[in-house]
Amino acid sequence: MSRVRNFVSERIASVPPSGIRRFFDIAATMEDVISLGIGEPDFTTPEPILQAGIEALRRGETHYTSNSGLMELRRAIAEHLDRLYGQTYNPASEILITVGVSEALYLACAATLDPGDEVIIPEPCFVSYAPEVVFAGGVPVMVPTSPENNWQVTAEAIEAAVTPKTKALLLGYPSNPTGAVMSRERLNEIATVVKRHNLLVISDELYDRLVYDTQHVCFPSLPGMYSRTILLMGFSKAYAMTGWRIGWAAGPAEIMEMMRRVHQYTIMCAPTVAQYAALVAIKEGEPFVEEMRQEYDRRRRLIVGGLNEIGLTCVEPKGAFYAFPSIAVTGMDENTFAEKLLQEERVAVVPGSAFGPSGKGYVRCSYATAYEKIEEALERMRRFVRRHG
């Protein structure tokens, strides 16, 4: 009798599980833990958005929508992008409603990559980028960033990574985990490299609305970039809608058509109830976005000031809701630091290396948690550093 074969795809098995979950699992078994580990808003979805979802269900909106998503929602998103960034998209052919940026990212890779195509990815970065490229048969080429450049990737670093196989650049700014926001000047330099090497850009701008003391620059709005950019945005962070699973992709019609094809056969459409809630989010959500942004900003000042004072030095994050301090003062590596901090002081942070090799010696601290909890976490971290510094 023949032995059962190994049925698992080598390509999928080559991708390790995310390094973030392990800490959540340990933290979940402990009492009195303050978690700075979470990558999602602590706010619940604002009331009018919730109500829109509930009313949609009560009206019987329990069916599929068109593959691309509700036309009304696509139109509202087109107006939103025009208003904020002066970037126009045709809602009929250039906008696709997806199951969060997560699905949009998957679609972007599936629709554009052929086996062996290289994708340049600045790191440390969101944990899904490299796996999604691998799942689609591509090859991720990681490019380091550093605090010396405020964790912004440079055009030189990108250009140095270009080979004849390079097809795309995957940008994720404002950044999870560093909080970095790209300046217009740096983005323009990158646009020049992108043009010179004829690259596609996949731009994950999920945190575009959560920036502080600065302006977000929408990559496709730069000269010449619209026709070669897939823009990914969503509702999870700014509207506190992670669990609704809703986002969108926007880009040139010929690329969007291919993304729609993958989406049509794998997903059918984004959740209908979430689409109705998202419509109200886009149309009426602005005051709530601004209120939450201001609260994140207050917490950001607290945590950045506190961490630097303790000796866990960190460059000022200008976006998202993460601080990314160096733990050099403790002499520990980031995994030991995170484990000991959790065991000894019951504060959960994520080791920076979970986001790429340049995260070695750093940890990610999310400030999407209550101000008072951050104050207490800083006190505990102060004790910890004093003991180990």
In the shown chain, the binding pattern of residues 170 to 209 toward ligand PLP, with x for contact by CB under 6 A and - for none, equals --x---x---------------------------x-x---
| Rounded CA separation 123/142 (Å) | 6
Which CB atom, from 131 or from 247, has the smaller least distance to ligand PLP? Answer: 247
DSSP state of 42: S
Stretch that binds ligand PLP, among 70-78, 97-105, 352-360, 380-388 (CB under 6 A): 97-105
In the shown chain, the binding pattern of residues 243 to 282 toward ligand PLP, with x for contact by CB under 6 A and - for none, equals ----x-----------------------------------
- In terms of Cα–Cα distance, which of 343, 341, 353, 325 is closest to 377? 341
- In terms of Cα–Cα distance, which of 334, 327, 303 is closest to 316? 303
Q: Which amino acid is located at 53 in the chain?
A: G
Stretch that binds ligand PLP, among 48-56, 96-104, 142-150, 338-346 (CB under 6 A): 96-104
Which CB atom, from 118 or from 204, has the smaller least distance to ligand PLP? Answer: 204
Question: Given candidates 234, 251, 252, 359, which one binds ligand PLP under the rule CB under 6 A?
Answer: 234
| Rounded CA separation 330/381 (Å) | 11
Question: Given candidates 65, 102, 152, 203, which one binds ligand PLP under the rule CB under 6 A?
Answer: 102
Sign of CA dihedral 373, 376, 382, 388: negative
Stretch that binds ligand PLP, among 95-103, 146-154, 161-169, 260-268 (CB under 6 A): 95-103
Which CB atom, from 144 or from 311, has the smaller least distance to ligand PLP? Answer: 144
Give the shortest CB-98-to-ligand PLP separation in angstroms.
8
Q: Where are the beta strands (DSSP E) in the chain?
A: 34-35, 95-98, 118-123, 139-144, 166-171, 200-204, 229-234, 247-250, 322-323, 347-348, 350-351, 363-366
Give the shortest CB-332-to-ligand PLP separation in angstroms.
26
From residue 77, alpha-carbon distances to 86, 148, 154 in Å are: 12, 36, 30
- Taking residue 343's Cβ as centre, other Cβ atoms within 10 Å add up to 10
Q: How many residues does the chain have?
A: 389
Binding residues for ligand PLP, total number by CB under 6 A: 13
Site residues for ligand PLP per CB under 6 A:
39, 100-102, 126, 172, 176, 204, 206, 234, 236, 242, 247
